[in-house]
Every structure is written in C-alpha cells, then in structure tokens.
C-alpha cells in the first residue's frame, strides 16, 4: 500500500500541478497502440509498454492515469502489471489515478472501494474514477474510504461522447443530472473550500463538450475540486474550448492526454520529452 501521509489528495494534487504542470499522462495499452510500438499484443508486450511509460512519466508529470480495462483483459497477470506500475509510479513521487469507472450499490460498491482505495488494498492508486449513474449516494462507500485514506475520486459528470447527453443532460424538477453531480461534489468538498484548499472529490468533464456547461448552468469553479479533462490535444480540445468549458475553474483543470504523448513511444527518453512538451503546452492553454 502507498503511504499518503497527512496531506489530502487535493493538497497533493495541487502541489504536483504546481511543480510539474497540469498534465495527467495516460497509460492506454490497447492493441493498436501496443502494436504501433513494434510490440506483441500479449503479456510481454503489455509489460514492456507499461515499463516504458513508468520510466518516462515517473517524477515528471503531475499524475498518471492507467486505464484498468487494458490490463484486466490479460487476466490476473495483467492486473499484476498494473499493480506494479502503480507502486513504481508512486515510488517515483507521481500521483496515480486508476481509471476503472467503478459504480455499483451497497456491499458491492464497498468491496470496490476497499479493493481500490482501502487501507489494506494491494496497490491502491491515489484516486479512482467512479460512475455515479446509480445515484451519487451509491458512491458513498468510495467517498468515505477515500476520505479515510487521504485518497480521491473523480466522478463522471459531463462526458464528450454523444450518448452521454441522454443521461447527463436529463432533468428532474428542472435540475439536470450533471448539475446534481456538481452540487453533490461541492458538498463533499465544502470543508476543504473553507480552508482554501483543493478538494479531493473531482469530476470528469470532457474538454470538447462545447457550450454544455453554460446550457446546463454548471458552476465548476464553485465545485471546489479538480476537473479531469479528457479530450485535449489529439482529440481536438483547444485553448478556446477550455476557456468556454471551464471558465473560472481553469486553475483546477487536470488535462488528460494519452494519444498525444504515447505516440512518441516506444523509447522512454523520447516519451519523457514528449510528456514534458505536452505538459508545457497544457500549462499555456490553461494560463
């Protein structure tokens, strides 16, 4: 288990962003990308791909986001590769956001929380992505365990896939589902906000959602937590998009980039240089 010390996830993330810039580098070893590196799409290729990413990103970026599914596809041996990567990145002083998008109810959600965030977890990340579409309070086990272990969660709120609108833009008594996620996260972050700190309950908001934030009346700055923002760079998100989507919340944005960075592989040194360059670009976009 990693040691988080006395600082909250929000405090540690703010310090990491101040030191390294805002980039959250993805580790997405899907078949096409692994093979584009000249590696075989098997357990050995997965290990070599992941090792290069760990060597390149450890101690260099604010956070790293491994996509759990691309490790789970190889069964328990693939999960072991992910666990080793989490440990090695944390050993290098880099925050890890495990992108697993877990969401369930009752004892099942509690088991996910203990397994991925708990004090006795095998290799817990510093934060976990979670899906709230069984109701925000269904996430309570993860929220509570994260708070107890000084870890964080990123709640899916406003994603850029076209299908997301059917759920996230839906309204009940004039309140959209997305707005309910923002206000619920703000309530979780209230104590940190009173201390002038970044909260540990973040949201996932796509950088390419256009005018949706304004249309839905979302106050992302008042939410008080970090905003994990996929879609910047190769997926089309520009500085204008970021300003339109995030507005006053720009200082809390953690842009996630996989394709832009990973296209520089497989050499770890080249990959590291690319991550630094993308991080500088992200910092400029957010300034």
**What would the two tokens of residue 187 be?**
């309530």
Report the alpha-carbon distance of residue 151 to residue 223 in Å, rounded. 18
Question: 119 with 84: CB under 8 angstroms?
Answer: no
The total number of residues shown for the chain amounts to 287
Does the active-site annotation cover 119?
no
**What would the two tokens of residue 197 be?**
């700190």
The mean per-residue pLDDT over the stretch 135-142 comes to: 97
b/e code 158-172 from CB counts within 10 Å (16+ = b): bbbeeebeeebeeee
The mean per-residue pLDDT over the stretch 117-139 comes to: 97
Place of tokens 């609108």: 165
How confident is the model at residue 2, as a pLDDT? 46
Report the alpha-carbon distance of residue 117 to residue 35 in Å, rounded. 32
- Map out the domains of the chain with their CATH numbers: 9-286 (3.20.20.70)
**Cα–Cα distances in angstroms (integers) from residue 144 to residues 124, 151, 201, in the given order:** 15, 10, 11
| Active-site residue identified among 87, 101, 165, 276 | 101
**Cα–Cα distances in angstroms (integers) from residue 59 to residues 16, 98, 260, in the given order:** 10, 17, 19
**What would the two tokens of residue 48 be?**
């070599």
Is residue 282 very low, low, confident or very high in pLDDT (cuts 50, 70, 90)? confident
Q: What is the pLDDT of residues 209-246, one digit of tens each?
A: 888 999 999 999 999 999 999 987 655 666 677 888 99
pLDDT mean across residues, the chain: 94
How confident is the model at residue 1, as a pLDDT? 40
How confident is the model at residue 235, as a pLDDT? 59
How confident is the model at residue 241, as a pLDDT? 77
Question: 147 with 195: CB under 8 angstroms?
Answer: no
How confident is the model at residue 202, as a pLDDT? 98
H-run or E-run covering 36: helix 31-36
How confident is the model at residue 234, as a pLDDT? 59
Residue 40 has pLDDT above 50, yes or no: yes
Report the alpha-carbon distance of residue 10 to residue 283 in Å, rounded. 19
Is residue 42 very low, low, confident or very high in pLDDT (cuts 50, 70, 90)? very high
**What would the two tokens of residue 240 be?**
């204008």
The mean per-residue pLDDT over the stretch 5-28 comes to: 95
Phi/psi for 129 (5° steps) reads: -80, 140
SS3 261: helix
Question: 44 with 280: CB under 8 angstroms?
Answer: no
Place of tokens 């090792």: 51
Report the alpha-carbon distance of residue 198 to residue 189 in Å, rounded. 8
Q: What is the pLDDT of residues 158-176, one digit of tens each?
A: 998 889 999 999 998 899 9
Q: What is the pLDDT of residues 174-196, one digit of tens each?
A: 999 999 999 999 999 999 999 99
Is residue 3 very low, low, confident or very high in pLDDT (cuts 50, 70, 90)? low
CA angle, 125 then 21 then 277, to 5°: 110
| Alpha helix stretches (DSSP H) within 118-267 | 140-148, 164-168, 177-188, 190-194, 212-216, 220-223, 239-246, 259-262
How confident is the model at residue 169, as a pLDDT? 94
């Amino acid at each position: 288990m990693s040691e988080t010390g006395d600082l909250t996830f929000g405090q540690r993330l703010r310090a990491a962003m101040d030191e390294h810039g805002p980039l959250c580098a993805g580790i997405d070893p899907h078949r096409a990308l692994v093979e584009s590196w000249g590696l075989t799409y098997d357990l050995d290729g997965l290990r070599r791909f992941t090792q290069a990413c760990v060597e390149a990103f450890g101690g260099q970026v604010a956070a790293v986001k491994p996509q759990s599914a691309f490790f789970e596809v190889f069964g328990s041996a693939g999960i072991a590769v992910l666990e080793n990567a989490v440990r090695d990145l944390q050993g290098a002083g880099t925050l890890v956001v495990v992108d697993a998008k877990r969401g369930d109810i009752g004892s099942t959600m509690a088991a996910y929380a203990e397994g991925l965030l708990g004090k006795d977890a095998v290799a817990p990340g510093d934060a976990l992505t979670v899906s709230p579409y069984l109701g925000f309070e269904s996430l309570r086990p993860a929220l509570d365990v994260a708070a107890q272990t000084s870890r964080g969660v990123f709640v899916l709120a406003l994603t850029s896939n076209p299908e997301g609108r059917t759920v996230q833009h839906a309204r009940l008594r004039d309140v959209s589902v997305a707005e309910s996620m923002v206000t619920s996260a703000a309530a979780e972050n209230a104590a940190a906000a009173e201390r002038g700190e970044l909260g540990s309950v973040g949201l996932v908001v796509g950088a390419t959602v256009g005018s949706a934030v304004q249309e839905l009346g979302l106050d992302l700055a008042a939410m008080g937590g970090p905003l994990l923002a996929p879609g910047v760079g190769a997926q089309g998100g520009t500085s204008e998009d970021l300003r339109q989507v995030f507005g006053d919340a720009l200082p809390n944005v953690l842009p996630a980039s996989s394709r832009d960075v990973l296209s520089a592989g497989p050499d770890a040194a080249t990959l590291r240089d690319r991550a630094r360059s993308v991080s500088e670009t992200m910092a400029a976009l957010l300034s």
